[in-house]
Amino acid sequence: MEIVIVADPEAVATVAADAIQRLVTDLPTPVLGLATGSSPLGTYRALIERHRSGGLSFAHCRAFLLDEYVGLPAGHPEAYRTFIERELTDQIDLPPDALAGPDGRPENLATAPARYEQRIAESGGIDLQLLGIGSDGHIGFNEPTSSLGSRTRLKTLTDATRTDNARFFGGDADAVPRHVLTQGIGTILEAGHLVLLATGSSKAEPVARAVEGPLTAMVPASALQLHPHATVIVDEAAAGRLTNAGYYREAFANKPAWQHI
């Protein structure tokens, strides 16, 4: 795992957007794994800016969401599909039918997980998966105790996650759906490159547990330790609990110019 420590959230966004831009520029049919939550918003803003003023095109890309709430009506402002359309894909030239997310309609739950896995497989697999990290160490919506081999499936959110996400639902944790569909940890681990973003001191502890703690289903983000190409990009505040921060800084500062994240 490579740990990249930069000054602030803007620098986190720049490093992540650079990696995505390189992929989108270099590959004939890039497949992007998109995350929701606040952590990737700066990266999305940087990509939109590069599209508008730098001509970066996503017309040849496909994109898959990590997860989705169950039971929110189509077009609900906090449904993850609506969120990603608003915050990214409506503002770039990704073709609308190139965006896919898990189908969170209750009547489709029996078949939706397998169909989503199949769509990802048919795309040839995700080249770069963006990830945030929950305060309990979750990735996607894989809550603690999620199997490290899990596939896309229905999950029940913990009260802690519903409380964390209440800010998107007018501060009301009861308004946050209890159930979600999420790519499994095994699904996520099949992406070519995992890029986890974290900013702010509230993420310092989960980041340290994921990066320097033991591999454990109690900290789903620790599964990144199993991946051959995982990059954790954090600002100084989110790096605050890392024991080996000096080593990570030195390794990144001395990277040869040709060696990208």
Residue ranges in contact with ligand GLP by CB under 6 A: 35-39, 66-67, 132-134, 140-141, 161, 165
Give catalytic residues, as residue numbers.
Answer: 67, 136, 138, 143
Q: Which is nearer to ligand GLP, 94 or 181 (CB)?
A: 181
CB of 38 to ligand GLP, least distance (A): 4
CB of 156 to ligand GLP, least distance (A): 13
C-alpha distance across the termini of the chain, in Å: 10
Taking Cα atoms as reference points, which of 16, 12, 92 lies closest to residue 56?
A: 92
Contacts of 95 (CB under 8 A, 6+ apart): 59
CB of 182 to ligand GLP, least distance (A): 7
226 phi/psi in degrees, rounded to 5: -85, -10
Our measurement of the distance from residue 130's CA atom to the centroid of its chain's CA atoms, rounded to an integer in Å, reads 4
Q: Rounded CA gap, 206 and 5, in Å?
A: 15
Helix (H), strand (E) at residue 179: strand 179-182
Q: Which is nearer to ligand GLP, 56 or 217 (CB)?
A: 217
Q: Rounded CA gap, 125 and 188, in Å?
A: 10
CB of 133 to ligand GLP, least distance (A): 6
Contacts of 151 (CB under 8 A, 6+ apart): 113, 117, 183, 184, 186, 187
CB of 149 to ligand GLP, least distance (A): 19
Residue whose C-beta lies closest to ligand GLP: 132
Q: Which is nearer to ligand GLP, 56 or 165 (CB)?
A: 165
| 150 secondary structure, DSSP code | -
164 phi/psi in degrees, rounded to 5: -60, -40
